[in-house]
């Protein structure tokens, strides 16, 4: 937890990235307490389904259906071509730390927190859920088709 911080809630995504454009970031990643991967590159995007069509999609991540309880973890310009987006069930907890430097954590493109090598970022679904309201005629697939120019 960065500097003993309290919980921060994200609706769309959490981005862990480098504080300087001159260096790559090194992120050790754990899923449910087990070592998962080490990312080298510009950082990672951890996206909710709601945020999957924003930075996550631009970074090459998948589109997630809004009613699913999952996370997408998408590397940003990874140093290795073997680094690919991964979708995790929402009940998994993702932990990330940067062992040799600092990093920036950006929440929903708004809030920015700098972490150091002694900090760990824990990402999990909140116990509270958000309710989204749409018109009865709302069709997610039509919106997606229009937004991404599919079928044109």
DSSP, res 61: P
Question: Domain residues for 73?
Answer: 2-148
Q: How far apart are CA 152 and CA 138, in angstroms?
A: 20
Q: Backbone phi, then psi, for 58, in 5-degree steps?
A: -65, -30
Buried residues in 8-28 as b, exposed as e (16+ CB within 10 A):
eebebbbbbbbeeeeebbbbb
CATH number of the domain residue 17 falls in = 2.60.200.30
Q: How many CB atoms lie within 10 A of CB 90?
A: 13
Model confidence at 47, in pLDDT bands (50, 70, 90)? very high
Average pLDDT over residues 2-27: 85
* Beta-carbon contacts of residue 126 (< 8 Å; ≥ 6 apart): 7, 9
Secondary structure element (H or E) that encloses residue 140, with its range: helix 140-148
What confidence score (pLDDT) does residue 4 get? 56
- Range name among 35-39, 56-60, 113-117 with the lowest pLDDT average: 113-117
The pLDDT of residue 34 is above 80: yes
What confidence score (pLDDT) does residue 5 get? 62
Total of domains in the chain: 1
Instruction: Residue 61: name the closest of 85, 36, 34 by CA.
Output: 85
What confidence score (pLDDT) does residue 43 get? 96
The pLDDT of residue 21 is above 80: yes
What confidence score (pLDDT) does residue 36 get? 97
As a whole number, the mean pLDDT across the chain is: 90
């Amino acid at each position: 937890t960065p500097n003993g911080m309290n919980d921060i809630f994200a609706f769309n995504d959490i981005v862990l990235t480098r504080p300087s454009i001159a260096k790559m970031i090194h992120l050790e990643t754990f899923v449910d307490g087990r070592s998962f991967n080490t990312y080298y590159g510009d950082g990672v995007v951890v996206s909710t389904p709601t945020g999957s069509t924003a930075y996550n999609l631009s970074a090459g991540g998948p589109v997630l259906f809004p009613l699913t309880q999952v996370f997408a973890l998408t590397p940003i310009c990874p140093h290795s071509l073997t680094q690919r987006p991964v979708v995790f069930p929402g009940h998994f907890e993702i932990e990330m730390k940067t062992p040799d430097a600092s990093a920036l954590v950006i929440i929903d493109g708004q809030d920015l927190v700098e972490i150091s090598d002694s900090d760990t970022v824990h990402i999990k679904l909140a116990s509270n859920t958000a309710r989204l309201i749409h018109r009865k005629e709302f069709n997610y697939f039509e919106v997606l088709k229009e937004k991404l120019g599919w079928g044109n």
